[in-house]
Amino acid sequence: MIHIVDYGLGNIQAFVTMYKRLGVATVRARCEDDLRDANKLILPGVGAFDHAMALLDASGMRQALEQLVKRDRVPVLGICVGMQILADSSEEGVGAGLGWVKGQVRSFAGNPASAALPMPHMGWNDVLPAAGCRLFKTLEDEARFYFLHSYYLECADVTSAVARADYGFRFACAVQNDNVFGVQFHPEKSHHWGAALLKNFAEL
Length of the chain: 204
Instruction: Give the Cα separation of 81 and 46 in Å (integer).
Output: 5
Active site residue 188: yes
Of 3, 121, 149, 186, catalytic:
186
Active site residue 121: no
Of 3, 51, 188, 191, catalytic:
188
Active site residue 186: yes
In the chain, beta strands by DSSP E: 2-5, 26-29, 41-43, 76-79, 89-90, 103-107, 121-126, 128-129, 144-149, 151-155, 161-166, 170-177, 180-183
Of 80, 121, 155, 173, catalytic:
80
SS3 195: helix
Q: Which are the catalytic amino acids?
A: 80, 186, 188
